[in-house]
Structure 1
Amino acid sequence: MTVEFSSSTPTPEEVERDRETGRVLFAGEFNFVFGAQKLGQLPDPILPEIAFAGRSNVGKSSLINALTGRRALARASSEPGRTKQLNFFEMAHRLTLVDMPGYGFAKAARAVKEDWQGMMFSYLRGRPTLRRVVLLLDSRVEVKASDREIMKMLDRAAVTFQVVLTKCDVPKPNALAAKLREVSEIVATHAAAFPHVLATSSETGLGIEDLRAELARLANPPA
Structure 2
Amino acid sequence: MLVKDIMKKEIVTLSPDATVSDALQLLQQHNIRHIPVINQEKRVLGIVSDRDVRDASPSILDDEINKEVLSRSIQDIMSKPVVTTHPYEFFEEVATIFYQREFACLPVVKNHQLVGMITEKDMLYAFIQLTGTHSPSTQLEIKVPDRIGVLSDVCQYFTNRNIKIVSVYSYPDPIEPEYKVLVFRIQTMNPMPVVNDFQQTEYQILYPYREDQDEI
**Structure with bigger RCO (C-alpha 8 Å, 6+ apart):** 1
Structure with higher strand content: 2
**TM-based fold match above 0.5:** no
Please classify the TM superposition score into its range, dividing by the shorter chain length: under 0.3
Q: Which has the larger radius of gyration?
A: 2
